Chains A and B, each alone.
Chain A
Amino acid sequence: MSDAIVRGFVPQAKARPPRTPETHYLNVEYGVKSWLLTTDHKRIAILYLIAVTALFLLGGAAATMIRLNLMTPRGELLPADTYNKLFSAHGIIMVWFFLVPVVPTVLGNFILPMMVGARDLAFPKLNLISWYIFTIGGIITLWAILAGGVDTGWTFYTPFSTKAARTNVIPTIIGIFISGFSSILTGLNFIATLHRMRAPGMTWTRMPLFLWSSYATSVILLLATPVLAMALILVGVERAWGIGIFDPDLGGDPILFQHLFWFYSHPVVYVMVLPAMGIVSEIITCFSRKPIFGYIFVAWASVGIAVLGFLVWAHHMFVAGQSVYSAQVFSALSYLVAVPSAIKVFNWTATLYKGSISFETPMLFALGFIALFTMGGLTGLMLAALGVDMHVHDTYFIIAHFHFIMVGGTVMAYMAGLHYWWPKMTGRMYSDFLSKLSALIIFVGFILTFLPQFVLGYLGMPRRYHVYPPEFQILNVMSSAGASILAVGYLLPLIYLIWSLFAGKAAGPNPWGATGLEWQTPSPPPPHNFDETPVVTSGPYEYATEEITDVH
């Protein structure tokens, strides 16, 4: 499959036909117990993969019901209450049980220790505990959603969540609270690993960019998640006790809850998108056969995004009643986030320039990410502007904007990363044709689903309503049609990836001819990753540079 990708670069795998090693992390032990008690970061990554995929399907099912309901202006399919519970379930599952954990816990867990040249994460047992915490939190939340549901939206705004809502608020909060500790422990584990477990010679500026973005992500997880935990405790106490912190009857301030909530929930957007950017940096360089353009800028842009991300939360509250002056400050700071984000996009583009580009499946997804993330980012600038935000606040414009970032950005990059490292994780190649087809279907389906929502929002269709004026029907039907295409695009990989486990060709250690320590081990890797601790003597993207200079 990689015949045409390189000029002047001979992957080691070409020397003899690739084959799967006899012992690797998947077959070293068998049985349910060997999986449930494993401390191998690679096996834990697989456990997470199963958990988040199941949760993604559930969150997706809720989205399907929402889009079906919105086919008609009067929303005949669902009663209003059920609709409220479905969009709440969709948001809660997708944010906390898919988007936040997916890249760090699945791809990060698997790849990060190998990228730094370590045998495991710094705290392997803690890593397993994180998975159990995540799973327990997930089960409690799912139970709360299935046994009656919750109708507050994923934001739990007070006083609705503390006084008015008659649904399972407390069990849902408990589930999210618990799963938060899995985020914290994962972040802690990654930071410790990146600080203390790097192989000899792996200096900070020799780290692959995925590690820089994982580091920035971990800092956010570590410092933002506890604030959400506290905010949820306060909501839970107020609801259970019937008396509390945000209660206006006592002089409490509901806006204070919004401050605490968004202090977590804005930075957490970067938990979703930073690791995605890291994946894209890896893939763009690999399939352009060029070192990344401006390594140090891309690396520090991750840190910049993480730091700025902590200073912009109140842009979610422009119409909530905060002071005009603070709104102006938060508006200006929000603009600043565009700078490191744009640095990344420009540098990826510059990396592509005069590269020797091949359009393998991961590359298709990564290019899709750049396109969709750019659109999501630019509409984010429109929303950071106070005046525009007043106009489109709480409309489908917002919905479209953050789905461009979260689905067009994070999910697209996750798919890219999954396809990129799948041969490493499983030792198998998947169907070239079907995977490229699914990249195409997802891109087209995505655009059709969410582009009309920008228009809907701009025309004034509010979010979270289960009915709408008839003149909005055409755009809504377009969006629902796109969603069905998108669903096909997401189900297809489920089929061919599972199929590849049984019928895929052996991948060999390095099917893409990529640099990076993770490609120097057999696929699938042995239990301890490296027989000898590797020694690093060069930067992360030493792709045949002398060949490229020939072009000039």
Chain B
Amino acid sequence: MSTNRGLVAHHFEDIEQQRDVEAFGMWMFLATEILIFGAVFTAYTVYRLRYAADFEAASSKLNVLIGSINTIVLLTSSLTMVLAVHATRAGRPKMLMICLLLTIFFGLTFFGFKAVEYYEDYEEALVPGLRFDPGEWAERSPPANAGHVQLMLVFYYIMTGLHAVHMIVGIGLLTWLVYRARRGTLTPARYMAVEVVGLYWHFVDIVWIFLLPLLYLAGTHRASDLHF
């Protein structure tokens, strides 16, 4: 509690310990997150192996173009997030602000595409319980089991939905960082908040990197299917 008075909470010995603990805490939280997603990935994998053909048939109806564009959008947002961490540590408030706003922008862009995609899924009768046509699947050649297709689609909504919830939380955290950046409380000495939010943001991106092949790339897609 000697140096950096005001920066260090009362229960820490020094700023190093405090920074150490903050990053460590986020890593542990991510461990929990991995198991949340791990549970649903496991359940998905069980059925994916059991009903391989039907899951592939359902997958090829998903909009792989939007899925891919969103992958690029999220990866770019990770880049701006890293630059935001760098800007904080380098003491460049203007760059920090731009990077934070860009990250938020890419996050919202993701949601824009995702909304279009969900709407299309609805139009194409891919929403079990709401708009779904079992007959259409039975008539395909080779025919697909409509029950298994619905199973796949339920997973699709749960997994992308859970990911979206994490994105919303992430955008909330970024907005909080923008507020702090405006007040000038993100400085080279106090960069941990940006660093920790960055860890979270990258994690949410990585989840999407897994979702893309699991959901969108499981089935085959023809070039004529690539549309918005």
A residues whose Cβ falls under 8 Å from a Cβ of B: 118-124, 126, 184, 188-189, 191-192, 195-197, 222-227, 229-231, 233-234, 237, 241-245, 247, 249-253, 256, 260, 263, 528, 533
- Distance, CA A402 to CA B155, complexed state (A): 35
With a cutoff of 8 Å between Cβ atoms, the chain B residues found around residue A528 in the complex are 10-11
Given A124, A222, A237, A244, which contacts B31 in the complex, CB threshold below 8 Å? A222
With a cutoff of 8 Å between Cβ atoms, the chain A residues found around residue B35 in the complex are 223-224, 226-227, 230
Establish whether residues A256 and B25, one from each chain, have CB atoms under 8 Å apart when the complex forms.
no
Determine, out of B59-67, B86-94, B144-152, B220-228, the stretch whose residues face the partner at the interface.
B144-152
What 14 new A-B contacts, CB under 8 Å, besides A123-B21, A247-B151?
A119-B10, A123-B25, A222-B32, A223-B32, A226-B33, A226-B36, A230-B39, A234-B40, A243-B129, A245-B43, A245-B154, A256-B43, A528-B10, A528-B11
With a cutoff of 8 Å between Cβ atoms, the chain B residues found around residue A243 in the complex are 128-129, 150, 154
B119 interfacial contact with A, CB 8 Å: no
How many B residues are at the interface, by size bracket?
35 or more
- Distance, CA A368 to CA B189, complexed state (A): 54
With a cutoff of 8 Å between Cβ atoms, the chain A residues found around residue B47 in the complex are 251-253
A251-B154 contact in complex given A191-B28, A223-B32, A226-B36, C-beta closer than 8 Å: no
Nearest opposing residue in chain B for A189, CB measure: B25
Nearest opposing residue in chain B for A188, CB measure: B28
Given B31, B147, B155, which contacts A245 in the complex, CB threshold below 8 Å? B155
B179 interfacial contact with A, CB 8 Å: no
Nearest opposing residue in chain A for B35, CB measure: A226
With a cutoff of 8 Å between Cβ atoms, the chain B residues found around residue A231 in the complex are 39
0 or 1 for each of B38-80: is its CB under 8 Å from A? (1 = yes): 1110110011001100000000000000000000000000000
0 or 1 for each of B148-191: is its CB under 8 Å from A? (1 = yes): 10110011001000100000000000000000000000000000
Nearest-CB distance from A158 to chain B (Å)?
12
With a cutoff of 8 Å between Cβ atoms, the chain B residues found around residue A191 in the complex are 28
Nearest-CB distance from A465 to chain B (Å)?
32
* 29 A-B pairs in the complex with CB atoms less than 8 angstroms apart: A121-B11, A122-B25, A188-B25, A188-B29, A191-B28, A192-B24, A192-B25, A196-B17, A196-B24, A223-B31, A225-B32, A226-B33, A226-B38, A229-B36, A230-B36, A233-B162, A237-B158, A241-B128, A241-B129, A242-B129, A243-B128, A245-B154, A245-B155, A247-B151, A250-B147, A250-B150, A252-B151, A253-B47, A256-B46
Establish whether residues A251 and B10, one from each chain, have CB atoms under 8 Å apart when the complex forms.
no
With a cutoff of 8 Å between Cβ atoms, the chain B residues found around residue A533 in the complex are 13
Establish whether residues A118 and B11, one from each chain, have CB atoms under 8 Å apart when the complex forms.
yes
With a cutoff of 8 Å between Cβ atoms, the chain A residues found around residue B139 in the complex are none
Establish whether residues B151 and A188, one from each chain, have CB atoms under 8 Å apart when the complex forms.
no
With a cutoff of 8 Å between Cβ atoms, the chain A residues found around residue B39 in the complex are 226-227, 230-231, 260, 263
- Distance, CA A228 to CA B219, complexed state (A): 30
Nearest opposing residue in chain B for A231, CB measure: B39
With a cutoff of 8 Å between Cβ atoms, the chain B residues found around residue A247 in the complex are 151
With a cutoff of 8 Å between Cβ atoms, the chain B residues found around residue A230 in the complex are 35-37, 39-40
B residues whose Cβ falls under 8 Å from a Cβ of A: 9-11, 13, 17, 20-21, 24-25, 28-29, 31-33, 35-40, 42-43, 46-47, 50-51, 128-129, 145, 147-148, 150-151, 154-155, 158, 162
A120-B11 contact in complex given A188-B25, A223-B35, C-beta closer than 8 Å: yes
- Distance, CA A224 to CA B34, complexed state (A): 11
Nearest opposing residue in chain A for B145, CB measure: A251
With a cutoff of 8 Å between Cβ atoms, the chain A residues found around residue B46 in the complex are 253, 256
Given B21, B24, B37, B43, which contacts A260 in the complex, CB threshold below 8 Å? B43
Nearest-CB distance from A247 to chain B (Å)?
8
- Distance, CA A229 to CA B154, complexed state (A): 18
Residue among B24, B32, B145 with most chain A CB within 10 A: B32
Nearest opposing residue in chain A for B161, CB measure: A237
- Distance, CA A191 to CA B21, complexed state (A): 10
Given A184, A197, A225, A229, which contacts B21 in the complex, CB threshold below 8 Å? A197
5 A-B pairs with the lowest CB-CB distances in the bound complex, closest first: A230-B39, A120-B11, A250-B147, A226-B36, A226-B35
A249-B147 contact in complex given A120-B11, A237-B158, A244-B154, C-beta closer than 8 Å: yes
- Distance, CA A192 to CA B21, complexed state (A): 6
- Distance, CA A3 to CA B217, complexed state (A): 75
Nearest opposing residue in chain A for B153, CB measure: A243
- Distance, CA A445 to CA B128, complexed state (A): 54
Nearest-CB distance from B34 to chain A (Å)?
8
With a cutoff of 8 Å between Cβ atoms, the chain A residues found around residue B40 in the complex are 230, 234
Nearest-CB distance from B129 to chain A (Å)?
4
With a cutoff of 8 Å between Cβ atoms, the chain B residues found around residue A241 in the complex are 128-129, 154
- Distance, CA A249 to CA B154, complexed state (A): 14
Establish whether residues A245 and B20, one from each chain, have CB atoms under 8 Å apart when the complex forms.
no
With a cutoff of 8 Å between Cβ atoms, the chain A residues found around residue B151 in the complex are 245, 247, 250-252
Nearest opposing residue in chain A for B128, CB measure: A243
- Distance, CA A223 to CA B11, complexed state (A): 27
- Distance, CA A121 to CA B21, complexed state (A): 11
